[in-house]
Amino acid sequence: MLRHSLLLFLLLIGLPMAAFGQMCEDGWPVIDIGTPAPSSTILPADTTTWLAGNVYHMQGFIFVPDGGVLVIQPGTIIKSDPGQGTNSTALIIARGGKIIAQGTPTLPIIFTSIDDNVCDTGDVPDIATSRGLWGGVILEGRSYACVSGGVSEIEGIPDYGELTLYGGGENPDCGDNSGIMQYVSIRYPGSIIGANNEINGLTLAAVGSGTVIDHIETYLCLDDDFEWFGGSVNCSYLAAIYGDDDAFDGDECYSGTRQFLFELKDPRWGDRITEHDGRQQAVWTDTTSVGVATPATPAGWGCAYPGYALAANWTCIGQGPNFSGTDGNNMLFRENYRAYWYNNVFMEQPKKVLLIDCPGGDVNIDTPPSSTNNLPSGAASIAAGFPLLDFVGNFWYHSYNAGGGGSSLSHFTSTSGATLATQRVQNDLFPGGDTTLTGKNHAGIDPLLTSYEVINPPVRHAMINPVPASGSPLIGAAATVPGYATSAYYTPVTYAGAFEPGVDISQSWIWGWTFASTANILGPSSCCDMPGDANNDGKVNVGDAVYIITYVFRGGPVPICLAEGDANGDGKINVGDAVYIISYVFRGGPAPICGPTL
């Protein structure tokens, strides 16, 4: 049996290797894509495949054109050259092009900097200059964007004509398909092209609902982690870790469902949780802009307009009390913004909590582009017969504005600070001033999450755990999403926040494939009861070694308890653990031990 198992190791040793989903590229061939920046490279207008077990070295702007399909296999690593301005590197999927990047929980697809040795999660320091080492990933679609004419040029990269346009014009395709992205980690993105013109971690520009976007992580992004420019794509299981600007930014009438999103801010930097705009200034009004459909005739656009979006089950953890920046993880809604926010958790916000715009003060409280017009008691919602902008079942905890020790109504305001507009914001979110669990929304109630880093600058000590602890008020707290606010993409759950209570974080959707889970940022309590029992059958035998081999080399299921699978206790699951178990079972070697909390 020992000889059989060792032969199996030799047969499999050339395949991509993962330790807790963290790929290791030692010995992999490097394949250059493009030429040194400043440059642009257009891939063929047919199928191009990037194979697992290779490092693809991107240089300059890499375009997938109309008719082109870029297939990236699970377990592939893409590294990009550093550079700012025209010397940046980015991957751009143009209108009509597609990306098929389907990683797995154990074989993710990783976009990172050429300076990053993926095998070593500590080689790139967690400092400000590690943000924005390269550009990012951009998808351009033919869904709608409420800009004049319905077509615009993408921000963050120079003008390359058709290759840098997004939007479907006056006849957009809201079901447009730009491909599939799943289990993808985007690390150190956010190159600066010019003032207020940066590349985001993942940009989704007029991307349609035929596109699949889920299980995406950004890490140490210099600009927004995720930004939507219009479009109708639905997204789930997104993680924005230690980004500098907004975690989730929506513009130009984005309309779609986003559920199970997680944000974690670094206590040293960062802007808002979210900034959402309805329309650009040039098209604020409903009737004056040629080529822009009005809200009264959404059928002409084939989808909800302008921007009926659902944000549900987010968990957003801000910088904590020691942050000295400007905006501090607040939430900003402006420019005739319309959407529904249900069953989310927002905490550790060091400045204002939530601002809804009312330009010009109370005199414009019910006049577009004021978003206060769309709150439940606003004139637009009353005329529609249902709310156009509403917040229900959300939790806010630990807001430190003006030295305060907990969330209070004073942290929920209009942008102008006008008396009536601010009163409307507070009354529509907390009718009767009720912030308790029986109220419409909840403030100042501890959700029982292990939240912000207590050390500044942060130290990776695996203390962040966004899974609700036993007894959390998030359990069973979910409000029902009404028919006018929901979509077929939405998954009803009974809890608030992005993580299912009672499921250890090591078994949750974020574990294994993300940098945050492999780099000792997130951390569960130890589940190790029987060291070496990788398959959780209550015994330690050769079956556990085979289970580990299948996981490491074949993309098999993750060990039920990672600490039990780490039989030699070195903080990794790899061939060494299988050999250790075989030595114990057949050679009388040392007994397996519990690995560290990972």
pLDDT category of residue 217 using cuts at 50, 70 and 90: very high
To which H or E segment does residue 2 belong?
A: helix 2-12
List the alpha helices (DSSP H) in 449-558: 515-518, 542-554
Q: 496 in the Ramachandran plot: left (φ > 0), alpha (ψ -120 to 50) or beta?
A: beta
CB atoms inside a 10 Å sphere around CB 117:
14
Question: Taking all residues of the chain, what is their mean pLDDT, rounded to a whole number?
Answer: 85
Distance CA 479, CA 482 (A): 9
pLDDT category of residue 475 using cuts at 50, 70 and 90: very high
Mode of pairing for the β-strands spanning 192-194 and 197-198 = antiparallel
Mode of pairing for the β-strands spanning 109-113 and 152-153 = unpaired
Q: What is the pLDDT of residues 403-413, one digit of tens each?
A: 445 567 888 99
Give the number of C-alpha atoms closer than 13 A to the C-alpha of residue 257, restricted to the C-beta side. 18
Task: Supply the pLDDT for residue 6.
Answer: 45
Q: Which range among 30-39, 46-55, 417-426, 559-568 shows the weakest confidence by mean pLDDT? A: 559-568
Task: Supply the pLDDT for residue 262.
Answer: 97
Q: Give buried/exposed letters for 332-368 (b at 16+ CB in 10 A, else e).
A: bbbbbbbbbbbbbbbbbbbbbbbbbbbbebbebbbeb
Burial of 527 (0-12, 13-18, 19+ CB in 10 A): middle
Query: If you average pLDDT over residues 273-290, what whole number do you get?
Result: 56
Q: Which range among 24-38, 120-134, 191-205, 534-548 shows the weakest confidence by mean pLDDT? A: 191-205
Task: Supply the pLDDT for residue 3.
Answer: 45
Task: Supply the pLDDT for residue 563.
Answer: 78
Helix, strand or coil, per DSSP, at residue 527: coil
Distance CA 172, CA 174 (A): 6
Computed from CA positions of residues 359, 362, 366, 372, in that sequence, does the dihedral angle turn out positive or negative? positive
Task: Supply the pLDDT for residue 326.
Answer: 67
Q: Which range among 250-254, 506-510, 589-593 shows the weakest confidence by mean pLDDT? A: 589-593
Task: Supply the pLDDT for residue 438.
Answer: 96
Tokens representing residue 385 in the block: 């017969």
Q: Looking up tokens 């074989």, which residue turns up?
A: 107
pLDDT category of residue 321 using cuts at 50, 70 and 90: confident
Distance CA 43, CA 65 (A): 7
Domain boundaries defined on the chain: 1-20+504-598, 21-485
**Cα dist from 138 to 99, 178, 254, 290, 503, whole Å:** 10, 11, 16, 28, 33
443: CB partners within 8 A, 6+ apart: 395, 396, 397, 406, 407, 408, 409, 430, 435
Report the alpha-carbon angle 29-33-35, nearest 5. Answer: 120
Q: What is the pLDDT of residues 252-280, one digit of tens each?
A: 889 899 999 999 988 888 878 888 887 64
Query: If you average pLDDT over residues 452-464, what whole number do you get?
Result: 59
Residues in the chain, overall count: 598
To which H or E segment does residue 241 belong?
A: strand 235-241
Q: Looking up tokens 């639905």, which residue turns up?
A: 234
Task: Supply the pLDDT for residue 269.
Answer: 82
Tokens representing residue 460 in the block: 């990776």
Tokens representing residue 240 in the block: 């924005």
